[in-house]
């Protein structure tokens, strides 16, 4: 689900190549840039085991581009989809409610594997942090800012952009340890939990240079050079007020190291479980475990 050194593994697993099937079209999408992904992805093939017939990159920088019939037709023939990094706010603004969103979700229903990096990872779950409240020159939303005002204008959440069955009740976050994003993921979870729209919401944070390879039944493996974090709020849900810091919020965290597996269909897993408490905007562990990352 993220950029990782072992991207070859994702190609084999997600393209059906582990069972000897042929990948026909590998479709990449983004908002700006070029087709640099094409030779990179084509280079991941492994002879007869995983033969790519073609790789297509679609650059969709506005809603007009997302309405182009050629785009919908291209996605309809994809046998694997990878959503590039960038700005997830524009993915939501430009693709939601268009044939792009509809065709990606149809592909998911057909069993087409889907992955993404950075902003592409951020929109994988049933819930997503959309970043639509950010101004062009704003820095990335950090944990401290989110914890001090969970109802602030920059804490924007959307529901139902992608419909990946195993990621129902999940919100994802990227660049996790490097950008110290635990605090903001706790806020996203607390917001959703307190709204009662999904009291069993869970979060998955993924470090840079790491990936989570997930099967449709929830079996997952962490690969690469970083950790994944499964974060779960537990009751009671906090009372969240505008202009007030997050308070009386409790979470279980499971840190999953590279090479380890977990089952997303279960509510406990991971190499290093611990708990976090947020009181008046301050986050702390309930026992001495060293660094939370």
User: In the chain, where are the structural domains located?
Assistant: 1-116, 124-293
Architecture of domain 1-116: 3-Layer(aba) Sandwich (3.40)
- 3-state secondary structure labels for all residues of 245-293: CCCCEEEEEEEECCCCEEECCCCCCCCEEEEEEEECCEEEECCCCCCCC
Are the C-beta atoms of 209 and 3 separated by less than 8 Å? yes
Give me the pLDDT at residue 209, please. Answer: 87
Binned at pLDDT 50, 70 and 90, residue 15 comes out as very low
State the average pLDDT over residues 275-293. 91
* Cβ neighbours of residue 70 closer than 8 Å, sequence gap 6 or more: none
Helix (H) or strand (E) holding 65: helix 63-66
Give me the pLDDT at residue 12, please. Answer: 44
Binned at pLDDT 50, 70 and 90, residue 115 comes out as confident
Give me the pLDDT at residue 267, please. Answer: 65
| Torsions phi, psi for 220 (to 5 deg) | -140, 155
Considering only 39-53, 193-207, 278-292, which range has the smallest mean pLDDT? 39-53
Please state, in angstroms and rounded to a whole number, the distance separating the CA atoms of residues 16 and 202. 28
State the average pLDDT over residues 12-32. 41
State the average pLDDT over residues 114-128. 92
Question: Would the CA dihedral through 138, 90, 198, 264 be positive or negative?
Answer: negative
State the average pLDDT over residues 17-28. 36
pTM, full prediction? 0.88
Tell whether the model's pLDDT for residue 32 goes beyond 60.
no
Q: Hey, what are 282's tokens? A: 């301050």
**pLDDT digits 0-9 by tens, 202-254:** 999 999 988 898 888 888 888 888 999 999 999 999 999 999 999 999 999 99
State the average pLDDT over residues 21-35. 49
The reply to whether omega before 236 is within 30° of 0 (cis) is yes
Give me the pLDDT at residue 30, please. Answer: 59
- Tell me what the pLDDT averaged over the chain comes to: 84
Helix (H) or strand (E) holding 205: strand 202-206
Give me the pLDDT at residue 31, please. Answer: 57
Q: How far is CA 76 from CA 13, 81, 89, in A?
A: 20, 11, 24
State the average pLDDT over residues 51-62. 81
Tell whether the model's pLDDT for residue 266 goes beyond 90.
no
CA end-to-end span of the chain? 19
Please state, in angstroms and rounded to a whole number, the distance separating the CA atoms of residues 208 and 77. 30
Give me the pLDDT at residue 3, please. Answer: 36
Tell whether the model's pLDDT for residue 6 goes beyond 60.
no
State the average pLDDT over residues 117-144. 94
Q: Which of 99, 86, 74 is nearest to 32 (CA)?
A: 86
Give me the pLDDT at residue 34, please. Answer: 62
Are the C-beta atoms of 237 and 243 separated by less than 8 Å? no
Please state, in angstroms and rounded to a whole number, the distance separating the CA atoms of residues 283 and 120. 28
Percent share of the chain, pLDDT over 70: 82
Please state, in angstroms and rounded to a whole number, the distance separating the CA atoms of residues 118 and 223. 16
Tell me which of 149 and 136 has the higher pLDDT.
149
Percent share of the chain, pLDDT over 90: 59
Are the C-beta atoms of 178 and 143 separated by less than 8 Å? no
**pLDDT digits 0-9 by tens, 138-183:** 999 999 999 999 999 999 999 999 999 999 999 999 999 999 999 9
Three-point CA angle 239, 176, 80, nearest 5°: 110
Are the C-beta atoms of 191 and 150 separated by less than 8 Å? yes
Q: In this structure, are strands 202-206 and 210-214 parallel, antiparallel, or unpaired? A: unpaired
**pLDDT digits 0-9 by tens, 57-94:** 888 889 999 999 999 999 998 888 888 888 999 999 99
Give me the pLDDT at residue 291, please. Answer: 87
């Amino acid at each position: 689900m993220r950029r990782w050194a072992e991207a070859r593994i994702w190609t084999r697993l997600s393209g059906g190549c582990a069972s000897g099937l042929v990948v026909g079209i590998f479709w990449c999408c983004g908002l700006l840039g070029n087709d640099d992904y094409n030779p990179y992805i084509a280079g991941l093939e492994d002879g007869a085991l995983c033969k790519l017939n073609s790789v297509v990159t679609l650059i969709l920088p506005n809603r007009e581009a997302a309405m182009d019939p050629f785009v919908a037709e291209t996605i309809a023939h994809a046998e694997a989809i990878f959503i590039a990094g960038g700005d997830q706010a524009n993915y939501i603004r430009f693709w939601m409610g268009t044939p792009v969103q509809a065709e990606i979700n149809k592909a998911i229903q057909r069993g087409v594997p889907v992955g993404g990096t950075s902003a592409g990872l951020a929109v994988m779950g049933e819930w997503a942090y959309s970043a639509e409240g950010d101004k062009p020159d704003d820095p990335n939303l950090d944990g401290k800012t989110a914890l001090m005002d969970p109802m602030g204008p920059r804490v924007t959440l959307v529901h139902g952009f992608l419909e990946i069955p195993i990621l129902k009740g999940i919100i994802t976050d990227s660049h996790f340890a490097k950008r110290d994003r635990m605090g903001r993921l706790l806020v996203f979870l607390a917001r959703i939990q307190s709204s009662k729209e999904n009291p069993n919401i869970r979060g998955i944070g993924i470090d840079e240079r790491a990936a989570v390879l997930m099967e449709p039944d929830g079996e997952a493996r962490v690969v690469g050079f970083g950790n994944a974090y499964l974060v779960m709020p537990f009751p009671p849900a906090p009372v969240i007020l505008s202009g007030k810091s997050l308070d009386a919020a409790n979470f279980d965290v499971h840190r999953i190291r590279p090479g380890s597996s977990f089952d997303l269909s279960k509510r406990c897993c991971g190499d290093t479980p611990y708990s976090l408490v947020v009181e008046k905007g301050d986050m702390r562990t309930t026992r001495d475990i060293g660094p939370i990352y």
